[in-house]
Structure 1
Amino acid sequence: MEPRASTSAQRLAQEAAEAAELRSYQADPDVIALRVEKVRAQVDRLCWAGIILGLAFTMANVQSFAAGDAAAWSLPWLAAWLLDPTVSLVLLAILRAEQVTARYQVRTGRWVRRAKWFTLAATYVMNTWESYAAASLSGVVLHSVPPLLVFVAAEAVTDLRDKLTEAVNVAFAEAFSVTRGSDRPGRRTPRKPARRKLFRDYLVEAREAWTPDVVITPAWVRRATGCSRGLSPRVAEALAHEIAQGGERS
C-alpha cells in the first residue's frame, strides 16, 4: 500500500506543477494581448458586416429619393445611384481611419466626428423622407432601422476598439511580472502584480523631470515618463497649464 500512496502523491504533485505552469502562461500579458486581438478581429468583422449590409439596404431607398419621377434607365435615374455610394464611401473612410486611431487610443478632431454624423444624418433623411411625406408610420420605422443601426454601430465600434486597447494596457500593467526560472526550462515564476500607472502618476513624474529650459512637448513627456503616445499630449497640456498658472500667480 505504501508504494501506491507514494505514486499517487507523485502524480498529484506533477499535476499541480503542470497546473501552476499553465496558469503562469495564461496570466502572461502577451497571451492576454493575443486573446484580445482575436476578439478585436471578430468584433471588427461583425461590425463591418452589419454596417455594410445596412448601407447596402439604404442604397435603393436613396436612389428612389434622388431619382424622383425620372424614367427608369434615364440619365437622372442612373445618376441617382451615385448619391448613396458617395455618402457611404466617405463614412466608410472615416470609420476605417478611426479603426486605426482607436487601436492606439489617439483621439480624432471635431471635424471628423461632424463629418461622420453628417453622413449618417444625410443617409437617414434620404431614407425616410418619402415615408414621412406619405405619413406612413410603418415606412418610417422600416427605413429608420438600417441607418440608425449603422449610426449606433459606427459609434459603438470606435468605443469598443478603444476599450479593447485599454484592456490590453490593463493586462500589461496588472498581470504578474514573470521571469524565467532556473529550476526548469521555460518555467515561469509569478511576482507581485504591478500597480497600473494613472494619469496623475505620469503628470507627477513629468513635473519632477521638468526644468525651466525644457520645452514641454508630447515627445519630451514620453521620454521623461515613458507614457504612451496617446496619453502624452494630455500630460504635456496639463503640465504646461500648471506651469502657466504658477507663473501667473508669481
Structure 2
Amino acid sequence: MVKGGRLLPPTPAKAEAVEQVRRQVDRLCWTGILLGLAFTMTNVQSFAANGAAVWSLPWLAAWLLDPMVSLVLLAILRAEQITARYGIRTGGWVRGAKWFTLAATYVMNTWEAYAAGSADMVVLHSVPPLVVFVAAEAVTDLRDKLSEAVQAAFMNAGVTGTPDTEPAPEPTRDRSPEGKRRKSFDEYLARAREAWNADVTVTPAWIREVTGCSRGLSSRLAASLLAEVGSDEQ
C-alpha cells in the first residue's frame, strides 16, 4: 500500500492473505492432479483387461494397475515437495521413477486411441495425462515460491511494520487464559520452537494454534522463529 508517497511494508493481514493464496494454489494443483489420474483409470483398466469378461478375475485385477502407478507417482511428487523446499536434490532413480510412471500412464491411456487411428480420441485421452505431467512439474516450484513469499511477508510485517498499518505492539509478556502467571515472550517462543518441524510453514495462525498466545504477539513470535529457522537451515 502507498501512503504519503512511500511504500508501506506488508501487514500481518496482508501476509496471511498471501498464505491463504498459497494454500489455495496447492490444493487446486493437487485436486487437478488427482482428477486427471482418476480420468485415466477407466482407460488404463480397459487396456489391462484386454477384452476380459466383466467381473472376471482378469477384469477385476485390471483395476489395480492404474492405482498402483498413480500411488507411486503421488508419493514421489509429495517427497519432491519437501526435499525441494530445503534445497535437497533427489537422485536419478527418483527422477526416472517419476518420468516412467507419467509415461506409463500416458501410453496405457492412449494406446487404444492410437491403435484405432482416431485423432480426436488421441487428443481427448492425451490431455489428462499431459495436464498431470505439467502440474507435477509445476506444483513443487509453485509451492516453494509461495512459501517463500509467505515467510518474507511475515518477516517484513513482524520486523518493519509501522503504526500506519499495524496496531501498537503488545508487551513482551502476555497473560494466560486462566489469568495466572504471565508467560514471557521467550516461553512462547520456546513452545513454538518445540512444535516446529520441517513440514511446517511458520505463520501467526500456526503460532497461535500451538502456543495459545494473542493475535498481536503471534506476528512477532512468527518473525523470531522464522529468523531462527532460516539461520539454522543455512
Q: TM-score, normalised by structure 1?
A: 0.58
Alignment of 1:169-208 (within 5 A): 170-171=152-153, 177-178=159-160, 186=168
Tell me, yes or no, if the aligned pair for 2:109 and 2:125 is still in contact at 8 Å. yes
Q: Which residue number corresponds to residue 27 of structure 1? A: 10
Letter in 1 for 2:79: A
Tell me, yes or no, if the aligned pair for 1:32 and 1:168 is still in contact at 8 Å. no
Letter in 1 for 2:109: N
Query: Which of residues 142, 161, 165 is equivalent to 1:160?
Result: 142
Letter in 1 for 2:23: A
Alignment of 1:108-187 (within 5 A): 108-168=90-150, 170-171=152-153, 177-178=159-160, 186=168
Residue 92 of structure 1 aligns to a residue in which SS?
Answer: helix
**Displacement of 1:61:** 0.1
What is the alpha-carbon distance in structure 1 between the residues aligned to residue 56 and residue 91 of structure 2? 41
Query: Which of residues 27, 34, 56 is equivalent to 2:38?
Result: 56
Alignment of 1:13-92 (within 5 A): 27-28=10-11, 31=13, 33-92=15-74
Larger Rg: 1
Q: Percent identity?
A: 70
Tell me, yes or no, if the aligned pair for 1:103 and 1:162 is still in contact at 8 Å. yes
Structure 2 gaps of 5+ residues are 171-229
**Displacement of 1:99:** 3.1
Residue 46 of structure 2 aligns to a residue in which SS?
Answer: helix
Structure 1 gaps of 5+ residues are 1-18, 189-225, 233-250
**Displacement of 1:136:** 1.3
Q: TM-score, normalised by structure 2?
A: 0.62
What is the alpha-carbon distance in structure 2 between the residues aligned to residue 111 and residue 36 of structure 1? 35
What is the alpha-carbon distance in structure 2 between the residues aligned to residue 87 and residue 100 of structure 1? 21
Q: Which stretches of structure 1, 4 residues or more, deviate above 6 A after TM superposition?
A: 172-176
Shifted more, 88-97 versus 150-159: the winner is 88-97
What is the alpha-carbon distance in structure 2 between the residues aligned to residue 180 and residue 47 of structure 1? 36
Change (3 A) 1:72 1:178: same
Question: How many equivalent residue pairs?
Answer: 169
Shifted more, 33-42 versus 55-64: the winner is 33-42
Tell me, yes or no, if the aligned pair for 2:72 and 2:101 is still in contact at 8 Å. yes
The structure showing larger relative contact order (alpha-carbon pairs under 8 Å, at least 6 residues apart) is 2
Structure number with the higher helix fraction is 1
**Displacement of 1:57:** 0.6
Change (3 A) 1:169 1:187: closer
Q: Which residue number corresponds to residue 236 of structure 1? A: none
Tell me, yes or no, if the aligned pair for 2:10 and 2:156 is still in contact at 8 Å. no
What is the alpha-carbon distance in structure 2 between the residues aligned to residue 107 and residue 157 of structure 1? 16
